[in-house]
Amino acid sequence: MTQVLTVPCKLKVSQSQAAKLDATMDAFVQALNWVNQNTPEKVVNAVKLQSLCYYQIRARFGLSSNLARTTSRLRDQQVCRRLAGARKVARQKNRPVKAFKRGFVTYDARIFSFRKKDWSVSLTTVEGRERFELAIGRYQRERLAGSNPKSATLVKRKDGSYSIQICVEAEPSPPQRTGRVLGVDLGRTDIAHTSEGDNWNGQQLNRVRDHYSKLRAVLQRKASKGTRSSRRRCRELLQRLSGKERRFQSRQRCVAKTWVNHRISKAIVSRAKATNSAIALEDLTGIRERVNQQPRSKAERRRTNNWAFYQLRMFVVYKAAIAGVPVVLVPPAYTSQTCHRCLHIHPDPTQSYRSGKKFKCGHCGWEGDADLNGANVIALLGAAVNQPRGSWLACQLQGYRKPALYCEAVRVG
C-alpha cells in the first residue's frame, strides 16, 4: 500500500518573488472565502462547486486557468477542491466552514513541478511561472530523491519566510518477521515507557502546560472585560499562546507536543528496528470519554485530556511503516494491574498491586517500576498477537484461570 508523506521544504525567495507569492496567496484565499459565502453550504462536491462559480473566480480574482483547476479529467478548480474538502471535514464535526486566513495556496502537477538537478521547484503565480531554490537538508533530499511529486501546498510563516509542503508517495518497507516484541506503555507521568526500560518523563511538560493553563485563564477573563482595545489585545495573545503550545521554540520556553511526539516515536521505531522487534501499543481509543466519567478535579481532567496520545500512536505507526517494523495494538484492560512475571492480578477487584509509580506483586514478590511492568505486559500481549500460534497467555485470579486479554487485538499495517 502506497504511503503519502509530506516533506516540508523552505524556499529561497527574492523580494520580487515574495510580492508575487503574496499576491497569489491573497487571491487564492479571497476566492476561497467568496465561493464559501456565495454557494450553498450543503454543496460539498468540487465538481458541483466548479460548475457554479468557475468563471466568476477567474474574472474576479485573476487566477490563471491552471491555478483555478486540478489535472483531473473533470477539471475541478483548486479553490473548489480545497473548499469541498474543508466542508466535508466541517460536516463530520457538525459545524460550518469559517473564513479562511491568508497565507497558503494548494498546487497540483500542472502548476507545480520539482527538479532534482538543482533541487528547485517551479510554481505558477498570478504573474506567471517562477522557479525557487529549496533550502533543505539531508532528510528532505532523501525523501525527494527518485520521487515524482504531483501536489504541494505553499505556506507563508509568521516570520515572513516561505515553505512548500511537498506530498511524496513512497512504498513502505516490507515488515520484518520477528518473534521479539517491544512493549510501549503510554501515560501522563511517563509519556512513554518501553519494556526495555527506556522512558520519557512528562513532568517538565506538565509544568509547562500548567503554566500556560493559568496564563490562558487570566487572558480569557481579561478578554471578556475591560476596554475594547484590551479585549482585542487579549484575544490576539490567546491566539499566539495556542500556537506556542503546539510548537517547539526553546528548551526554556515551551516544549511542544508535536516535537516531543516526533522525538519519542523516532526513538521507539529506531530501537525496534535495531533489535528486530515488533512494537506493541495500547489501543487508547475512547480513553478520554471513559476516564472523564470518573469523579476528578478540573485540573486533573485538563492534564489527562491535554496530551495527544493518538498523535503519538500515529507517528509511531507511519514511522514504523517506513522502517518495515510491525505494529500491533492491544486493549489496555488489566495491563497496569497484571504482574508481567507471574501474570497474577490482585484477588480483590477494589485493590491493585500498583501504587502510583510502584508495583509490588503479592503473588511472586516482584517489585519495580509500575510503567515498566505495564510495558512488559503489553509486550507479552503483543507477542500473543504477533505469533498467534504461541502459548496461551493467562493470569491467575481468585483461584481460576482467566485470559488476561479477552478483547480483540489488532495488527496495524
Rounded to an integer, the average pLDDT of 151-160 is 91
In degrees and rounded to multiples of 5, residue 401 shows phi and psi of -95, 130
- Number of residues in the chain: 413
**Which has the closest alpha carbon to 209: 299, 312, 310, 313?**
299
Q: What is the pLDDT of residue 68?
A: 47
Reading the block at residue 377, the C-alpha cell is: 505486559
Q: What is the pLDDT of residue 146?
A: 84
Rounded to an integer, the average pLDDT of 3-7 is 86
Q: What is the pLDDT of residue 325?
A: 92
Identify the bridge partners of residue 402 per DSSP, sorted by sequence position. 395
Q: What is the pLDDT of residue 399?
A: 38
pLDDT tens for each residue of 333-375: 888 889 999 988 988 888 889 888 899 998 899 999 999 999 9
DSSP string, 56-95: HHHHHH---TTTTS-SSTT---HHHHHHHHHHHHHHHTT-
Amino acid found at 324: G
Is residue 40 within 8 Å of residue 199, measured between CB atoms?
no
Which H, E and C letters describe 279-304, residue by residue?
Answer: EEEECCCCHHHHHHCCCCCHHHHHHH
pLDDT tens for each residue of 284-341: 776 555 555 555 566 555 555 556 778 888 899 989 988 889 999 988 888 888 999 9
- Cα→Cα distances 356→8, 77, 191, 359, 369, Å: 41, 56, 15, 8, 9
Q: Is 372 exposed, middle or buried (0-12, 13-18, 19+ CB in 10 A)?
A: buried
Q: What is the pLDDT of residue 401?
A: 38
Helix (H, G, I), strand (E, B), or coil: what is residue 397?
A: strand
pLDDT at residue 377 above 90?
A: yes
Is residue 122 within 8 Å of residue 130, measured between CB atoms?
yes
Q: Which residue has the cell 500460534?
A: 389
Task: DSSP letter for 135, please.
Answer: E
Q: What is the pLDDT of residue 181?
A: 93
Pairwise CA distance, residues 262 & 311, whole Å: 9
pLDDT at residue 251 above 90?
A: no
Rounded to an integer, the average pLDDT of 170-174 is 78
pLDDT at residue 152 above 90?
A: yes
Q: What is the pLDDT of residue 389?
A: 54
Pairwise CA distance, residues 219 & 6, whole Å: 35
Is residue 186 within 8 Å of residue 284, measured between CB atoms?
yes
For the chain, the 3-state helix, strand and coil shares in percent, each to the nearest 5, are 40, 25, 35
Instruction: Tell me the domains of the chain and their CATH numbers.
Output: 3-170 (no CATH), 180-201+257-412 (3.30.420)
pTM value > 0.75: no
Q: Is 139 exposed, middle or buried (0-12, 13-18, 19+ CB in 10 A)?
A: exposed
**Which has the closest alpha carbon to 404: 311, 317, 330?**
330
Reading the block at residue 357, the C-alpha cell is: 509509580
Amino acid found at 296: R
Is residue 121 within 8 Å of residue 109, measured between CB atoms?
no
- Cα→Cα distances 384→179, 281, 388, 406, Å: 10, 13, 5, 12
Amino acid found at 110: R
Amino acid found at 242: S
pLDDT at residue 408 above 50?
A: no
What is the number of other CB atoms lying within 10 angstroms of the CB of residue 183?
28
55 vs 394 pLDDT, higher one: 55
Q: What is the pLDDT of residue 114?
A: 95
In degrees and rounded to multiples of 5, residue 383 shows phi and psi of -65, -35
Is residue 89 within 8 Å of residue 58, measured between CB atoms?
no
**Which has the closest alpha carbon to 87: 33, 43, 49?**
43
Is residue 316 within 8 Å of residue 265, measured between CB atoms?
yes
Reading the block at residue 288, the C-alpha cell is: 478520554
Reported confidence tier of residue 281, pLDDT bands at 50, 70, 90? very high
Angle at 406 between CA 404 and CA 411, to 5 degrees: 100
Pairwise CA distance, residues 324 & 92, whole Å: 33
pLDDT at residue 77 above 70?
A: no
pLDDT at residue 413 above 60?
A: no
**Least confident interval from 107-111, 169-173, 241-245:** 241-245
pLDDT tens for each residue of 110-147: 889 999 999 999 998 888 899 999 999 998 998 899 88
pLDDT tens for each residue of 27-74: 888 888 888 888 888 888 888 888 888 777 767 766 555 554 433 322
Query: Do the strands 151-156 and 104-108 form a parallel or antiparallel pair, or are they unpaired?
Result: antiparallel
Pairwise CA distance, residues 361 & 339, whole Å: 6
Reported confidence tier of residue 19, pLDDT bands at 50, 70, 90? very high
**Which has the closest alpha carbon to 24: 120, 164, 133, 134?**
164
pLDDT above 70 as % of the chain: 76
